Structure 1
């Protein structure tokens, strides 16, 4: 179990950092948290490659627990527009993380015997897409107002051109597309550290 500790700590650090940085905007469609959170998939994939599917799942569950704690803390901190973390955001964040990461683990395991890049790239692309779709739909879609009727998400459902230039859609869809694009870009970039980290860990004596 102690050999998994670096992975658990790395995942916890990414989750905590992302929960903090999501409070700060980057441009019109993103927050700084969008640039740290995708590295959670890198941690999961490294653990899966080096230690196997069971170890990767342990790291995912550890990250989920840390995320829940962060959400609970966020619900108690009141900002200018109310609690920093609403019930819908907490449910969306936790559900998206757990489902997407576990699917990432499953897809990686299925493809682990192929070329070195195929499993981390495919699993992260699938996991990132599911993560984005689940989080933004649960947190902001008007069709799910029943989850938290007292939470006004009308701002997220304002009809605007997609990313300022595309077809008209609810604002939250533009936020989702921008977030997904960052995840995909980082998935490609993360292949480099994945290769390096895995190479070093696999070269260590048992």
Structure 2
């Protein structure tokens, strides 16, 4: 790890911390504000991968994982209206989802980086984001995985409601997951613009 990697490290740490804070605040019925900041972690990983290589990207992912663990541990000790701000299942789901999804992103990006400039960041982020959403919401809220931490009450997440308020009936946590996934995919497309601009500038000055 060199000084040139420091901006990526700081950016990843800031995104993880901000997302852990903003996830406490609702945005509409299905989302939190954290849903809009967390996907930027994939942008940071992809920029590091393009400019500094796979090893640097993996190191930045590891930093984000450690920072996320610290945030989760702190959250489990802060009591809110309905209990700890971060339950054990949320902490486990968050950590596993982040690490697995980001490492998948790094691997796919590395495999596609010699193609068109947009292919690697787009495909890796779309797949990574999908894995991240599936892992986090199922681990944190699915009744089928209650054995992970039986003391965590997720019965509210199993309430059957129309999907996103107008679709077929589904558990509440599925609507939350679909809304989160939709935001991730939208940001993946938008993030191609800053990816192109930032990597272009960094590569010219490297």
Note the C-alpha offset of 1:20: 0.1
TM-score normalised by L of structure 1: 0.99
Moved over 6 A (4+): none
Matched, 1:180 2:163: no
1:37-76 matches, cutoff 5 A: 37-76=38-77
In structure 1, what is the equivalent of residue 17 of structure 2? 16
In structure 2, what is the equivalent of residue 87 of structure 1? 88
Gaps of 5+ in 1: none
Aligned pair count reads 205
Q: Deviations over 1:147-181 (max 9, x none)?
A: 11111101101011100111111000000000000
**What's the secondary structure of 1:169's corresponding residue?**
strand
1: CA distance, partners of 2:3 / 2:29: 42
Matched, 1:146 2:141: no
2: CA distance, partners of 1:152 / 1:37: 25
In structure 1, what is the equivalent of residue 168 of structure 2? 167
**What's the secondary structure of 2:180's corresponding residue?**
helix
In structure 2, what is the equivalent of residue 7 of structure 1? 8
Q: Deviations over 1:116-144 (max 9, x none)?
A: 00000000000000000000000000001
1: CA distance, partners of 2:36 / 2:200: 24
1: CA distance, partners of 2:53 / 2:124: 14
2: CA distance, partners of 1:78 / 1:22: 15
**RMSD between aligned residues:** 0.5
**What's the secondary structure of 2:61's corresponding residue?**
helix
**What's the secondary structure of 2:115's corresponding residue?**
coil
**What's the secondary structure of 1:201's corresponding residue?**
helix
**Does 132-141 or 151-160 show the bigger shift?**
151-160
